[in-house]
């Protein structure tokens, strides 16, 4: 059983989220009264929480000051958490490419400095779909993203880097060197770093301004890495055709 | 009403500034254009916002001057008021005011402070009175500050035994230079001016604190500290003392004019107005304690002087006194900047609304400050202290008169803005019983303070009350004129930095 207080009082965090949900459902202009009615909350508590949410810009007041709307500070959460949608035209291009080779082909998008699996190869599913976004330093797509973000926006946690296999790069200096090389070459690779026995190659899908917004990943057995690399040119050509559909 | 000037290819269209029908009524959820467009938006971090409040209060300057005003304003000596108690009570009153302003600051990113709060609370006509009252307060305190800068710089040179052929001419030159420097800093941007004011203020408080400690190290007080806290049972002198002491706190509300420019205004502005009365109050209490002891020891002529602290120190060492003078002058310089900053923003909003000349609604194209309002206000603010000096009136008397008159302006604005709070909340459907009680209590307490000040002033034959009363009446008449002749302009009163589309989800795309 989860803990629930006797009355719904100021049990802060979850009530804040409920308020956000109400505003998201009712839409721009939802009033404090509507929120307190919907949540059966004491008004003074609701006002306090609303002001706190407005203060942190998770909510914004409408021009008459009565109503609320979702604030820009939610963008980070929503963008990072929402699975990206891939247009059918892009899926068809990727599907065509998949039929022409014997490796797994995945499309990974970069959302708010995190990796999101946009299109997974149905025939060769990702071996570690949860570990890959969590440990960007260990995957080809992740390293491509880290190289793109540079130092300032690095999403890597402060502590020591997780060692997933004995080949995972855990030394930050060594990682930085590799990121510089990735930036120079415009491609990233990983052999046995994310999972023992597998390797992958990631190629950037660029926005019109040249920045990288997604990675096209080719994965296969580690010993077949050179064979994977033979597809580099074809994959590169695919990324430039994909870009207009994705961004 | 937007007219676009034809522009050459490749050059950005420059919009002619006309904000006739800016919405202050919130008839749409999100308005496409902000009525206060042109100001730099959401850039100031908490420190400059807090600095604006602290500088407008000018604790270092007030610490040095106001307790001295509380003294000679009354009979100095055995029947004098208890400084610590007086300041404690004044601090309580101001904390009450800050509690009233806070709910509004949390809900509205005001650019014109109490003026726009009142417009949303007690209505647009009352807002005109509050706006005028607040501008009157800021203006007079800015004038007094410049006068104080002049006085203290001259005093500094005298303490350093520099031969000055004409102290009055020097004071005028100092005031002109200070006004020009302040104007430049303010037009350059609040970021720079606030940082300058904050560092200046911190240094002057530090200087004062160190000097006070050093003074007592050299001159062990003959009076015991316990005597400072003795209550002499004189209620009359206490209430008058509170009125003067309250004027030491005024200006703490000035960050409410930075709602548009502050980064996360709904956090930083309420925080600044909550903490400033407390922080400065503690400083005042410390200073009052120390000065009570020191001035009790001092000869009567020093206690009654306009620069009592520096006179006191100059007994010990002229260099001490000079350093102190520099700190105090700097503090008043910062106060002048902060006051005009706030004043200009109210004036700017009035210009945008059309209830003041539209030209003052212009902003600087690259610094993004209300530069036109600043440049219109500054000469007026500089001329008055110069006139005081030229007229040959004693600077002490000029300071006292300007500060007290200014305090009326602030107090009048506080009374109405505090009373607005529950109405403001009711209008947006968020009033509570507590808000009505708080609003009423603050209104009554402040009203009593203002009443006390007015009756004492009338009793002593001082024309200040009438001057301020005249301003109030003029503002009421002007509001009536607007209602009859220009109702659409009156209706646009109360503009503020409304939510923009960029503030909403999804807002700026996240990388």
CATH number at residue B414: 1.20.1740.10
| Cα atoms found within 13 Å of the Cα of residue A188, Cβ hemisphere only | 31
Query: Would you list the domain boundaries of chain A?
Result: 12-78, 83-246
Domain at A83-246: CATH architecture = 2-Layer Sandwich (3.30)
State the nearest Cα–Cα gap between A158 and chain B, in angstroms.
Answer: 21
Closest C-alpha to B144, from B341, B369, B455, B389:
B389
State the nearest Cα–Cα gap between B481 and chain A, in angstroms.
Answer: 26
As a whole number of angstroms, the distance between CA B263 and CA B43 comes to 5
Mean pLDDT of A9-32: 86
- Pick A72's closest partner by Cβ from B26, B266, B504: B504
> pLDDT band at A92, cuts 50/70/90?
very high
Q: Does residue B302 fall inside a structural domain?
A: yes
* Cβ–Cβ below 8 Å for A79 and B29: no
The pair of three-digit structure tokens given for residue B297, joined into one six-digit string: 């020891």
Mean pLDDT of B27-47: 84
Q: pLDDT tens digit string along B220-251?
A: 655 555 555 555 555 566 777 787 788 889 99
As a whole number of angstroms, the distance between CA A224 and CA A222 comes to 5
Structurally, chain B folds into a number of domains equal to 1
Are the C-beta atoms of A157 and A134 separated by less than 8 Å?
Answer: no
Q: Say yes or no to pLDDT of B274 above 70.
A: yes
Question: Within an 8 Å CB–CB cutoff, is residue B437 touching chain A?
Answer: no
* Cβ–Cβ below 8 Å for A69 and B511: no
Q: Does residue B36 fall inside a structural domain?
A: no
As a whole number of angstroms, the distance between CA B488 and CA B1 comes to 14
| Cα atoms found within 13 Å of the Cα of residue A135, Cβ hemisphere only | 22
Candidates B49, B109, B432, B499: best to mutate against A (most CBs of A within 10 A) is: B499
Domain hosting B286: range is 46-496
Q: What is the DSSP string of A76-141?
A: HHHHHHSPPP--HHHHHHHHHHHHTSSSEEEEEEEETTEEEEEE--SSS--S-TTHHHH-GGGSHH
Work out the angle at residue B59's Cα, subtended by the Cα atoms of residues B54 and B61, and round it to the nearest 5 degrees: 125
Are the C-beta atoms of A98 and A105 separated by less than 8 Å?
Answer: yes
Q: pLDDT tens digit string along A106-123?
A: 999 998 888 999 999 999
Question: Within an 8 Å CB–CB cutoff, is residue B434 touching chain A?
Answer: yes
Higher pLDDT, A77 or A12: A77
Distance set, CA A166 to CA A119, A170, A173, A192, A197 (Å)? 28, 10, 17, 8, 11
Q: Does residue B408 fall inside a structural domain?
A: yes
- The predicted complex's ipTM stands at 0.83
Pick from A35-44, B57-66, B189-198 the range whose average pLDDT is largest: A35-44
- With DSSP H G I counted as helix, E B as strand and the rest as coil, what are the percentages for chain B, rounded to 5? 70, 0, 30
Q: pLDDT tens digit string along B187-224?
A: 988 777 777 778 888 888 888 778 777 777 776 655 55
The size of chain B, in residues, is: 511
Q: Helix (H, G, I), strand (E, B), or coil: what is residue A198?
A: strand
Are the C-beta atoms of A191 and A199 separated by less than 8 Å?
Answer: yes
Residue B214: predicted pLDDT: 75
Q: Does residue B317 fall inside a structural domain?
A: yes
Q: pLDDT tens digit string along B339-397?
A: 999 999 999 999 999 999 999 999 999 999 999 999 999 999 999 999 999 998 888 78
* Cβ–Cβ below 8 Å for B504 and A70: yes
As a whole number of angstroms, the distance between CA A199 and CA B278 comes to 63
- Contacts with B162 (C-beta within 8 Å, 6 or more apart), sequence order: none
- Pick A75's closest partner by Cβ from B267, B432, B510: B510
| Cα atoms found within 13 Å of the Cα of residue A190, Cβ hemisphere only | 32
Q: ω before A166 within 30° of 0 (cis)?
A: no
As a whole number of angstroms, the distance between CA B335 and CA B475 comes to 26
Q: Say yes or no to pLDDT of B485 above 60.
A: yes
Q: Does residue B253 fall inside a structural domain?
A: yes
As a whole number of angstroms, the distance between CA B242 and CA B89 comes to 7
- Pick B505's closest partner by Cβ from A63, A72, A110: A72
Are the C-beta atoms of B57 and B287 separated by less than 8 Å?
Answer: no
As a whole number of angstroms, the distance between CA B269 and CA B49 comes to 7
Q: Is the dihedral of CA B44, B47, B49, B52 positive or negative?
A: negative
Residue A82: predicted pLDDT: 82
Work out the angle at residue B457's Cα, subtended by the Cα atoms of residues B453 and B460, and round it to the nearest 5 degrees: 145
Residue B314: predicted pLDDT: 67
As a whole number of angstroms, the distance between CA B500 and CA B483 comes to 30
List A205's β-bridge partners, or say none. Answer: A214
Q: Say yes or no to pLDDT of B75 above 80.
A: no
Distance set, CA B405 to CA B10, B88, B179, B373, B412 (Å)? 53, 22, 21, 22, 11
As a whole number of angstroms, the distance between CA A217 and CA A204 comes to 9
Residue B368 CB neighbour total at 10 angstroms: 17
Burial grade of B67 (CB within 10 A; 0-12, 13-18, 19 or more): buried
Question: Within an 8 Å CB–CB cutoff, is residue B32 touching chain A?
Answer: no
Q: Say yes or no to pLDDT of B306 above 60.
A: no
Residue B222: predicted pLDDT: 56
> Parallel, antiparallel, or unpaired for β A59-61 and A67-70?
antiparallel
Closest C-alpha to A206, from A75, A110, A106, A87:
A110
Torsion of CA B173, B175, B178, B179, to 10 degrees: -110
* Cβ–Cβ below 8 Å for A56 and B498: no
Residue B18: predicted pLDDT: 43
* Cβ–Cβ below 8 Å for A32 and B429: yes
Residue given tokens 């600044």 in the structure block: B272
Are the C-beta atoms of B179 and B375 separated by less than 8 Å?
Answer: no
Residue given tokens 């206490």 in the structure block: B238
Contacts of A19 in chain B (CB under 8 A): none
The pair of three-digit structure tokens given for residue B154, joined into one six-digit string: 């001259």
Mean pLDDT of B426-455: 92
Are the C-beta atoms of A44 and B103 separated by less than 8 Å?
Answer: no
Q: What is the residue-averaged pLDDT of chain A?
A: 87
Closest C-alpha to A38, from A30, A29, A50:
A30
* Cβ–Cβ below 8 Å for A72 and B503: yes
As a whole number of angstroms, the distance between CA B321 and CA B200 comes to 18
Q: pLDDT tens digit string along B357-371?
A: 999 999 999 999 999
Q: Does residue B505 fall inside a structural domain?
A: no
Closest C-alpha to A89, from A245, A211, A210, A224:
A245
- Contacts with B473 (C-beta within 8 Å, 6 or more apart), sequence order: none
**Which helix (H) or strand (E) element contains residue A12?**
helix A12-26
Residue A3: predicted pLDDT: 38
Q: Scanning every residue of chain B, which has its alpha carbon at the shortest distance from the alpha carbon of A113?
A: B511
Chain A to chain B Cβ contacts (< 8 Å) = 105
Q: Helix (H, G, I), strand (E, B), or coil: what is residue B37?
A: strand
Q: Scanning every residue of chain B, which has its alpha carbon at the shortest distance from the alpha carbon of A78?
A: B506
Q: Helix (H, G, I), strand (E, B), or coil: what is residue B336?
A: helix
Q: Helix (H, G, I), strand (E, B), or coil: what is residue B262?
A: strand
CATH number of A12-78: 1.10.10.10
């Amino acid at each position: 059983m989860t803990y629930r207080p006797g009355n719904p009082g100021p049990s802060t965090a979850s009530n804040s989220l409920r308020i956000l949900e109400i505003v998201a459902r009712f839409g721009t202009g939802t009033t404090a009264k509507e929120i307190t009615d919907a949540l059966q909350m004491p008004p003074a508590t609701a006002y306090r929480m609303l002001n706190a949410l407005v203060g942190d810009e998770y909510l914004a007041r409408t021009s008459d000051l009565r109503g609320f709307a979702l604030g820009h500070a939610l963008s980070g959460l929503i963008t990072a958490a929402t699975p990206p949608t891939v247009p059918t035209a892009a899926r068809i291009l990727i599907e065509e490419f998949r039929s022409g080779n014997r490796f797994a082909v995945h499309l990974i998008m970069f959302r708010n400095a995190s990796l999101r699996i946009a299109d997974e190869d149905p025939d060769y599913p990702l071996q570690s779909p949860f570990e890959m976004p969590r440990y960007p330093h260990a995957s080809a797509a992740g390293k491509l993203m880290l190289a793109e973000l540079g130092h300032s926006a690095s999403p890597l946690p402060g502590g020591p880097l997780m060692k997933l296999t004995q080949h995972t790069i855990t030394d930050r200096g060594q990682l930085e060197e590799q990121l510089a090389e990735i930036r120079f070459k415009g491609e990233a690779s990983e052999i046995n770093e994310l999972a023992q026995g597998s390797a992958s190659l990631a190629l950037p899908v660029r926005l019109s301004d040249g920045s990288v917004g997604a990675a096209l990943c080719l994965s296969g057995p580690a010993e077949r890495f050179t064979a994977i690399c033979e597809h580099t040119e074809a994959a590169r050509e695919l990324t430039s055709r994909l870009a207009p559909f994705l961004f | 009403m937007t007219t676009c000037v034809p522009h050459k290819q490749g050059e950005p269209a420059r919009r002619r500034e006309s904000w006739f029908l800016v919405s202050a009524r919130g008839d749409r959820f999100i308005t496409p254009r902000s009525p206060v467009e042109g100001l730099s938006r959401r850039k100031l971090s908490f420190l400059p916002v807090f600095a604006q409040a602290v500088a407008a209060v000018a604790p270092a300057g007030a610490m040095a001057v106001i307790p001295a005003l509380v003294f000679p304003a009354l009979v100095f000596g055995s029947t004098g008021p208890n400084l610590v108690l007086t300041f404690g009570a004044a601090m309580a009153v101001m904390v009450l005011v800050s509690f009233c302003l806070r709910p509004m600051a949390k809900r509205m990113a005001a650019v014109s402070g109490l003026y726009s709060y009142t417009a949303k609370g007690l209505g647009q006509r009352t807002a005109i009175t509050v706006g005028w009252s607040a501008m009157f307060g800021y203006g007079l305190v800015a004038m007094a500050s410049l006068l104080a800068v002049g006085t203290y710089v001259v005093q500094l040179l005298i303490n350093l035994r520099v031969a000055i052929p004409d102290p009055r001419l020097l004071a005028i030159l100092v005031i002109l230079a200070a006004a020009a420097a302040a104007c430049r800093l303010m037009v350059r941007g609040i970021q720079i001016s606030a940082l300058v004011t904050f560092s200046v203020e911190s240094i002057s408080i530090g200087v004062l604190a160190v000097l006070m400690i050093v003074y007592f190290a050299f001159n062990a007080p003959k009076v015991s500290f316990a005597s400072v806290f003795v209550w002499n049972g004189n209620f009359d002198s206490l209430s008058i003392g509170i009125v003067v002491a309250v004027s030491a706190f005024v200006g703490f509300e000035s960050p409410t004019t930075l709602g548009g420019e502050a980064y996360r205004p709904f956090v930083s502005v309420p925080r600044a107005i909550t903490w400033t009365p407390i922080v400065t109050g503690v400083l005042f209490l410390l200073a009052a304690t120390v000065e009570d002891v020191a001035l009790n020891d001092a000869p009567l002529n020093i206690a009654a002087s306009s620069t009592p602290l520096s006179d006191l120190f100059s007994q010990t060492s002229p260099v001490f006194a000079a350093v102190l003078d520099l700190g105090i002058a700097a503090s008043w310089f910062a106060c002048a900047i902060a006051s005009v900053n706030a004043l200009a923003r109210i004036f700017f909003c009035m210009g945008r609304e059309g209830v003041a000349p539209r030209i003052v609604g212009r902003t600087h194209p690259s610094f993004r400050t209300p530069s036109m309002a600043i440049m219109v206000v500054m000469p007026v603010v500089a001329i008055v202290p110069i006139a005081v000096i030229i007229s040959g009136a004693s600077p002490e008397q000029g300071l006292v008169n300007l500060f007290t008159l200014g305090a009326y302006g602030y107090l009048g604005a506080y009374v109405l803005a505090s009373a607005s709070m529950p109405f403001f909340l009711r209008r947006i459907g968020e009033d509570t019983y507590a808000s009505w009680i708080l609003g009423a209590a603050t209104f009554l307490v402040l009203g009593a303070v203002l009443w006390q000040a007015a009756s004492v002033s009338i009793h002593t034959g001082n024309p200040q009350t009438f001057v301020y009363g005249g301003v109030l009446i003029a503002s009421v008449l002007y509001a009536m004129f607007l209602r009859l002749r220009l109702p659409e302009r009156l209706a646009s009163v109360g503009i503020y930095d409304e939510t923009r589309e960029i503030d909403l989800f999804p807002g700026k795309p996240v990388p």
